Amino acid sequence: MSGPSDSQIEQFKATFFEECAELLGDLEQRLSVLEGGNQDIEDLHAIFRAIHSIKAGGGTFGYVRMVTFTHSFETMLDHLRDGALEITPEVVDILFRASDIVADLIDVAQQGGTPDDDFGDEVLAQIDQILASMAKAEGAAEGAAAGSEEAADEEAERIGSVALFQIDFKPHPSLLRNANEPLLLIRELRTLGELTVQLDASQVPSLHALETEDLHFTWRLMLRGACREADVREVFEFVDDDCDLTVERLEPKGDRDAEAGTGSSRSEDKTPADKAADKAAAPAEQAAAKSKSTGGEAAGKERRTSSIRVDLEKVDKLVNTVGELVITQAMLTQQLEALAADKRARIASGLEELSTHTRELQENVMAIRMQPVKSVFSRMPRLVRDLAGKLGKRIKLITRGEETELDKTVIEELADPLTHMIRNSIDHGLEGPEEREEAEKPVEGTIVLSAEHRGGRIVIEIADDGRGVNRDRVLEKAIDQGLVAADAKLSPEEIDNLIFAPGFSTAAEVTDVSGRGVGMDVVRRNITNLGGKITVQSTPGQGTKVILTLPLTLAVLDGMVITVGDQKYVVPLGNILESFRPKPEDVQTLVNGGQVVKMRGEFMRLVGLARIFDVPNATHDPSKGLVVMVESDSGSSFGLVVDELLGQQQVVIKSLEANYDPIEGISAATILGNGQVCLILDLDGLEAMDKLAPRDLLEAATLAREPAPAPAPTPAGEPDPAALDDGAAPEQEEPQGEPAGLDDPSSLEQPS
Amino acid sequence: MSLAPNTETSGAPDAPPAVALDGNGEEQAGASADARQFISFQIGEQEYGVDIMAVREIKGWTTVTKLPNTPEFVRGVLNLRGVIVPIFDLRCRFGMGATEATKLHVVIIVTVRERTIGILVDAVSDILTATADQIRPVPEMESEQKEDFLDGLVTVEERMVALIALEGLFDNKLVAAATSAVADVSTTD
């Protein structure tokens, strides 16, 4: 093979883009830190490294614009690093915008497009302007306030133009695998001066132990040239993580170098020289030199907590296998019961140990998929900053609990809803400075974004100290938009939650920030799709708090196992409100065959699982079985008629659709301890099934089963509108389709 | 095991094709290059075959979990090492009534269009090798429903084996159509 095949290149590209995404994430975070005034030089270095890596990768794949743009970006960062350029808010702003351009360029490249040649020119112009003004300032200051570059030259002159360095370059075995080439480094060094190379091949293992992809050589390089130690180190900048490097200046030995212990001269070593140099330049140079060394240390730390990139599919496979192991182990335990007691004891203790280990294994495997929410929280400061600037508001974002861990899939799905909600808070919730002053609030508005674990779920809160939900306005709008009836009486909480209704928006004018009314209902849908819940709490004048409750992982669900006839089903525990056995007189059958139950003076719709699913041998009479009151994800509540509750259990969610079609009323399946498959109920689906055509389903079911379809009970007697108001009449408990004055069970819930 | 009462349909395939193939029965030779292998199995008296390349494994019948509101031939789902696999009752799919499954019944796990499904049969009998020219087309029959899922017929040692086209049998679109068909069958007699 002469070179990598197309598919390999595609693969390399995919890896490059993956890396870019990570680098950009890191970049954003570091920029936010810089903006916060916490000007750690290490952040600048990280930013520089990120941009440089993108440039290098972009060059490899021939993304011209990406290279030219990042090059200018890099130049600016370089000046920031060496202190020639100060970190001012304007500079940070340009950095942000430049990183946006880089992100756009990567996006375009990923989609296989080619950006215009002048893409991002505006930002480039700004960069040039900044650099130009910097140069001017430098020039004006003349020798007195010389830039660090000049100081460095001075230093080089001071120590004599030629120095001898001893460089011990000990690459780690993994150097080659990370696509680095020592030869290139050595060639690069040769450009700095006269180089003597000494190869130490003593570490090369014998042939049978040789790992061909590992590097076993170390080098001692002697360099005589007119350069600074920093120049030498810079050659090795990109293999920093993959080698042990010591650079020692052997001659000319100044008094300061004699003090240097290991010879890897740190900032202190240079201080005398810098002191001698101009005062303005000294701190900068010192900082730069110091950061070099701390940068090395930081890289060392990272190395210890190293990570590998694993295909998510592989992890899922592992999760599956472990799930199987857990089930097998549960089955073994069950079978053990059948053994005689004397034989059982020893096996039992072994099995117990096994179960401890499997549980541990399962937890650990699940933990692989877990990531801190930081990765999505870190995108928010940027958003707040941009929007606040655009809307002329002053806003402080506080994030808490960023280390809270959550399943990777959930985190990915969380970004959009969070963005929407923060936007909403900024646009609708928080007031402008004047209004805040009038309300005697701090001029700066606060948004608190927090995450924490609570009872096996994760709770994410977005709280602002703005004006709160304007209930009058919300209600008015909702009535205008036909979302609620004009005469509806709603509790304050109900009004607050109207903001999640599809198509709802209170913004007087549609801004490009929000107000199109495709915000909160989308948020709600996203969250419910994740098995989560969303609620809003608001205090007028004091603020709004949106609370998201999410499952820790999409793979596991807390469920209640119920029985209907000989079938078992799982009801998501988070949706269960309560369960009870109604008195016969509290149950009424409506004219269309639907049932309602009276509960604390209210009539709640009943959904007969046995009827909808056509389960034989099940209790159809709720007063002989149980009613489980549930709240579906869309917010309506109803009672499920079941036979029995078996108990609470954490179940692993398995897709049914992988090998079969979606089934109405069923969201997924799981495997119980005995190895049997158990279906997980989809409450929204059940509700729709019951609402749509309860009788059609009944008919279809009977049709398939028996030759003669049993006709649904026909209404007998006069409809009695007073029946509901009077409460349950005893004779109406019979499931004989007695008229109850309501021919549509849904009319009970929607006072329209 | 009781065959369903509607024997007109179940008995039909036996007679005419058996005659048609008798003359070709001697063609069996050693496996040639284009030979295909089939796993043959029984449903009642009739022998069927599926392409061995589609077969993942064969296992004994175990209790399955019923799926609500599905056609009768969908027996339910079972747990195959963590994967939820739907099981189809082939006898029922052929309109011969549901199989009264016992531990002796066999489930053949096959892959059809990247989906893994199981088919419930009475027993697995053999592995057959047949070349393309040994596979005879299915003669035209009155019952349209069945032709869709028969690929061809092959005669082995005087036995006739009907080769099943799994794609046609459990194509998703067909499931819906089959639902009504099965309902028709069960309600018309």
Q: Please calculate the CA angle B132-B136-B137 and round it to the nearest 5 degrees.
A: 115
In chain A, residues with a C-beta closer than 8 Å to the C-beta of B182 are 704
Contact indicator for A713, A694 with CB cutoff of 8 Å:
no
How many angstroms separate the CA atoms of A485 and A533, rounded?
25
Question: Could you give phi then psi for residue B155, rounded to 5 degrees?
Answer: -110, 130
Question: What pLDDT is stored for residue B178 in this prediction?
Answer: 44
| Interchain pair A675, B79: CB under 8 A | yes
Of chain A, the percentage scoring pLDDT greater than 70 comes to: 77
Nearest to B79 among A658, A663, A677 (CB): A677
**Stretch A300-327: mean pLDDT:** 73
Question: Between B64, B82, B85, which is nearest A324 by CB?
Answer: B82
* CB-CB under 8 Å, A327 with B82: yes
DSSP-derived pairing of the beta strands B159-164 and B46-51: parallel
Scanning B32-71 for CB atoms below 8 A from A yields 63-71
Question: What is the tens place of the pLDDT at every residue in A636-645?
Answer: 788 988 998 8
Residue A663 CA to residue A667 CA, distance in Å, equals: 8
How many Cβ atoms are within 10 Å of A722's Cβ, its own excluded? 8
Q: What is the mean pLDDT of residues B91-100?
A: 83
Q: Are strands A637-642 and A602-608 parallel, antiparallel or unpaired?
A: parallel
Please state which of the ranges A6-10, A606-610, B130-134 shows the lowest mean pLDDT. Answer: A6-10
- Residue A155: which of A87, A91, A230 has the closest Cα? A230
Put residue A13 in one of left, alpha, beta given phi > 0 → left and psi -120 to 50 → alpha. alpha
Average pLDDT (A70-74) is 83
pLDDT band at A251 (very low <50, low <70, confident <90, very high): low
Angle at B56 between CA B51 and CA B60, to 5 degrees: 105
β-bridge partners, A644: A563
Q: How far apart are CA A733 and CA A571, in angstroms?
A: 27
Measured from the Cβ of residue B117, the count of other Cβ atoms closer than 10 Å reads: 24
pLDDT tier at A448 (50, 70, 90 boundaries)? very high
The 3-class secondary structure across A568-612, one letter per residue, is: EEEEEHHHEEEEECCCHHHEEECCCCCEEEEECCEEEEEEEHHHH
**Distance from C-alpha of A582 to C-alpha of A189, rounded to nearest angstrom:** 86
Which helix (H) or strand (E) element contains residue A135?
A: helix A121-141
Candidates A677, A697, A704; nearest CB to B77? A677
Which residues in chain B are contacts of A677 at CB distance < 8 A? 64-65, 76-79, 84
Encoded tokens for B103: 């531990």
CB B66 within 8 A of CB B86: no
Min Cα separation A31/chain B (Å): 45
Task: Locate the chain A residue with the closest alpha carbon to B79.
Answer: A677
Return the closest-CA partner of residue A385 out of A413, A423, A414. A423
The percent of residues in chain B predicted with pLDDT above 70, rounded, is 66
The stretch A606-614 carries a mean pLDDT of: 85
**Cβ neighbours around B169 below 10 Å, total:** 25
Is-contact A687 A608, C-beta < 8 A? no
- Provide the chain B residues 86-105 that lie in CB contact (below 8 A) with chain A: 86
Q: Which residues of B touch A666 (CB under 8 A)?
A: 67-68
Which residue type occupies B131?
A: T
pLDDT of residue A562: 92
Chain B residues with beta carbon closer than 8 angstroms to that of A614: 68-69
Average pLDDT over residues A328-348: 78
**pLDDT at A725 > cutoff 70:** no
| pLDDT given for residue A3 in this prediction | 56
> Which residue type does A164 have?
L
* A656, A676, A703 member nearest B187 (Cβ): A703
What pLDDT is attached to residue A327?
73
Specify the CATH class of B7-188 in words: mainly beta
Strand order in the sheet with A666-671: A644-652, A556-564, A567-572, A677-681, A666-671
Nearest by Cα to A505 from A531, A476, A525: A476
Segment A650-667 mean pLDDT: 80
Nearest to B84 among A321, A613, A669 (CB): A669
- What is the three-class DSSP state of A47? helix
Contacts of B48 by beta carbon, 8 Å cutoff, 6+ apart:
B40, B41, B42, B90, B121, B161, B162, B163, B164
CA-based nearest distance A409→chain B, Å = 20
Taking the CA atoms of A348, A350, A353 and A354 in sequence, report the sign of the dihedral they define: negative
Q: Which residues of A touch B68 (CB under 8 A)?
A: 612-615, 663, 665-666, 679
Q: Which of A19, A25, A70, A20 is nearest to A48 (CA)?
A: A70
Residues paired with B120 in a beta bridge: B89, B107
The verdict on B147 touching A (C-beta cutoff 8 Å) is no
- Nearest chain A alpha carbon to B109: A659
In this predicted structure, the answer to whether residue A305 has a pLDDT above a threshold of 70 is no
- Give burial (CB, 10 Å; 0-12/13-18/19+) of A292: buried
Closest CA of chain B from A748, distance in Å: 27
DSSP string spanning A389-431? Answer: HHHT--EEEEEE-TT-EEEHHHHHHHHHHHHHHHHHIIIIISP
**For residue A515, is pLDDT > 50?**
no
ipTM of the complex: 0.71
Say which of B64, B70, B116 has its CB closest to residue A659: B116
Q: What is the pLDDT of residue B188?
A: 37
pLDDT band of A404, cuts 50, 70, 90? confident
Residue among A612, A665, A676 minimizing CB distance to B79 = A676
> Which range (A326-330, A692-696, A698-702, B70-74) has the least confidence?
A698-702
Nearest CA in chain B to A326: B82
What confidence score (pLDDT) does residue B86 get? 92
- For chain B, the domains span 7-188
pLDDT of residue B57: 92
The structure tokens listed for A45 are 């270095």
Q: What angle do CA A317, A323, A324 make, to 5 degrees?
A: 95
Would the CA dihedral through A390, A395, A396, A400 be positive or negative?
A: negative
| Res. A360: pLDDT tops 80 | yes
- Give me the mean pLDDT over the A240-267 stretch: 58
User: Which residues of chain B lie closer than 8 angstroms to A700, CB-CB?
Assistant: 69
**What's the pLDDT band for B174 if we cut at 50, 70, 90?**
very low
Q: Between A and B, how many residue pairs show a Cβ–Cβ distance under 8 A? A: 87
Contact by Cβ (8 Å): A249, A223 = no
pLDDT above 70 (res A708): no
Q: Does the pLDDT at position A555 exceed 60? A: yes
